[in-house]
Structure 1
């Protein structure tokens, strides 16, 4: 397979029903548990589609392991992936290269109400808050930018959100500094049914697709907000 591939695939959490040998939901679960189960099945289904696309060993997906911090991985040093889900949506970022290049992803379906300023007070610097709060009409988008980028950065290493404060974000310079991830880039999109943010190492050009009714449909004609991550380490 051609090296240095980077893909982001997303789907609603019922798209696993298009797969072979569709698993049966345990009807003794409550509605919240069923929702989580469907999201897990869809994430596994999307990974299976990507492994099939690149003719990789699908048996690896039968033995997904976790690091000490709970981050999933497969035992192939060329592959890294990360998963996020929010609302009825699931997204997977998948990296294949001659040497593993780490990735992280976060999606967020906006909630009707959220304590935006209180959360920013918790983790953002004064300079970052000044920028994010200066335009009330953009508060929601600015909040999700600041939140998602931190999640994507930290998830690339399996670090929890307890470290949110240790991600330094300059919205004016479009730079991010964090000791918990390598040098790379980060993309943020606000044009989808959810906010999407992902971090990646390397120079591969990301491809974004939606899996819908049995087909991968490439997403084009939308551009991300682009950040440099740990630029000074280069």
Structure 2
């Protein structure tokens, strides 16, 4: 659902600003779809706008809708999980854990990358200021290479830690699923065995009753 607001620029020309509202039941997928479509596949009017303007307009229209869309997506996933078996809940938990670990690793890397970039900019500024002194320039260049090496090591360590955590969560989820399936199979087997024993007991009881009744009739005929 879109609202079209008319505004007037200083030259007296009227410009139209489109602001999209969140539709009922709209999820994160639809919001991101609108976000990317407005940037890469604009309409006829948006094709004449530069890429930076399309990105800014698309983010301004769709970013405020992310909170409500996240709530709708969470409710849909919760309802979908409740309607299914316990294996579906295990799947949702495992996927959510893997996504959380991936985003955590990405966030740690971005923070480290931001700190390293700021330090590299400061060092580059100091190198440019100390260009007259060869020793200082050599020293700051070595420090720059040290930061690059530290950034490479951090990328390797963070990637290994994230991948290890994801693999560990997958293995733990697999074992939990295996034991849960084993427990469900045991429970079903016990229920089936109990039902079979109950049916067998009923059949034997009915057979015994019929046999006693037949014997009682035979004894009665003999006595007559």
TM-score, normalised with respect to structure 2: 0.23
Higher helix share: 2
Q: Which has the higher contact order (CA 8 A, sep 6+)?
A: 1
| TM-score, normalising length: structure 1 | 0.22
